[in-house]
């Protein structure tokens, strides 16, 4: 299927976007994909989640891209202009994915937890931080709701409204997302970030809509705003290590 970026390139070029991008540059009708007026939700295009690393061994899943990720992805696309050939579009989508992945304190928190689970030992690397740089081919980051969603103009967090209270959110989480995950060869280690993401995954597993991946449930969201992050991780650390070792045995067998 042709990436949506193909159709948005003329819009991006004609909009004369300049860095640093602001919300008024991107949260416009030009990039609006869909909306749910009853729940005050708007969904906008962002290029980074169009790239799928089919050979990933680890999949980290958030609920939906936020403004920061959207901004980083578009700024990367601007740096790649002009874009014409399909191969260049694929390369641009990959660069946008890398640029928009977890950054700042959230990435540091995530790497710390991955290292304490022993992820780096599986790949024989010094730190899980390398998964975000030279060992990026092992990693796929994504969201259960593919494109950025905003509630009353603010990042959607999964709480208001609940996913199953919106047909827009439900269609992406329960129809589009499992199709994406099915494109990644099992067994990958799948890490859902946050209770809302975990709830969706468990429902999909219950209904036999996901491949036989290994799931690291109860993993804390790495956001600094998650005050229970350290306690939750500590309480589940031994379970995480056991799950990683279980996955590692399968990973080694299949490589």
Q: Is 177 exposed, middle or buried (0-12, 13-18, 19+ CB in 10 A)?
A: buried
Task: Say whether pLDDT at 48 is over 90.
Answer: yes
pLDDT tens readout for residues 63-73: 999 999 999 99
The structural domain count of the chain equals: 1
Domain range for 23 is 5-253
The CATH number assigned to the domain holding 14 equals: 3.40.470
Mean pLDDT throughout 24-47?
97
Give me the pLDDT at residue 252, please. Answer: 66
Give me the pLDDT at residue 227, please. Answer: 86
CA distance 217 to 201: 9
Three-state DSSP string of the chain: CCCCHHHHHHHHHHCCCCCCCCHHHHCCCCCEEEEEHHHCEEEECCCHHHCCCCCCCEEEEECCCCHHHHHHHHHHHHHHCCCCCHHHHHHHHHHHHHHHCCCHHHHHHHHHHHHHHCHHHHHCCCCHHHHHCCCHHHEEEEECCCCCEEECCEECCCCCCCHHHCHHHHHHHHHHHHHHHCCCCCCCEEEECCHHHHHHHHHHHHCCCCCCCEECCCCCCCCCCCCCHHHHHHHHHHHHHHHHHHHHHHHHHCC
Which percentage of the chain shows pLDDT scores above 90?
A: 84
pLDDT tens readout for residues 139-156: 999 999 999 999 999 999
pLDDT tens readout for residues 165-213: 999 999 999 999 999 999 999 999 999 999 999 999 999 999 999 988 9
Task: Say whether pLDDT at 255 is over 60.
Answer: no
Which percentage of the chain shows pLDDT scores above 70?
A: 97
């Amino acid at each position: 299927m042709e990436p949506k970026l193909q159709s948005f390139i003329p819009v991006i070029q004609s909009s004369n976007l300049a860095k640093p991008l602001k919300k008024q540059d991107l949260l416009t009708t030009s990039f609006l994909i869909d909306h749910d007026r009853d729940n005050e939700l708007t969904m906008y295009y962002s290029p980074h989640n169009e790239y799928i690393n089919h050979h990933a061994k680890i999949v980290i899943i958030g609920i939906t891209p936020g403004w920061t990720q959207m901004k980083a992805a578009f700024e990367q696309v601007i740096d790649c202009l002009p874009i014409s050939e399909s191969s260049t579009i694929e390369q641009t989508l990959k660069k946008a994915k890398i640029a928009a992945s977890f950054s700042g304190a959230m990435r540091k928190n995530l790497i710390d937890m991955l290292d304490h689970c022993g992820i780096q030992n599986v790949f024989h690397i010094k730190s899980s931080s390398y998964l975000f740089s030279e060992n990026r081919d092992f990693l796929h980051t994504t969201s259960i709701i593919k494109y950025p969603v905003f509630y009353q103009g603010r990042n959607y967090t999964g709480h208001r409204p609940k996913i199953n209270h919106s047909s827009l959110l439900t269609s992406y989480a329960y129809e589009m997302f499992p199709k994406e995950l099915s494109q990644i060869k099992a067994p990958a280690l799948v890490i859902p970030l946050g209770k809302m993401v975990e709830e969706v995954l468990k429902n999909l597993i219950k209904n036999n809509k996901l491949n036989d991946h290994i799931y690291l449930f109860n993993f804390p969201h790495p956001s600094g705003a998650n005050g229970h992050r350290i306690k939750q991780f500590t309480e589940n650390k031994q379970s995480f290590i056991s799950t990683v070792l279980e996955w590692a045995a399968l990973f080694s067998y299949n490589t």
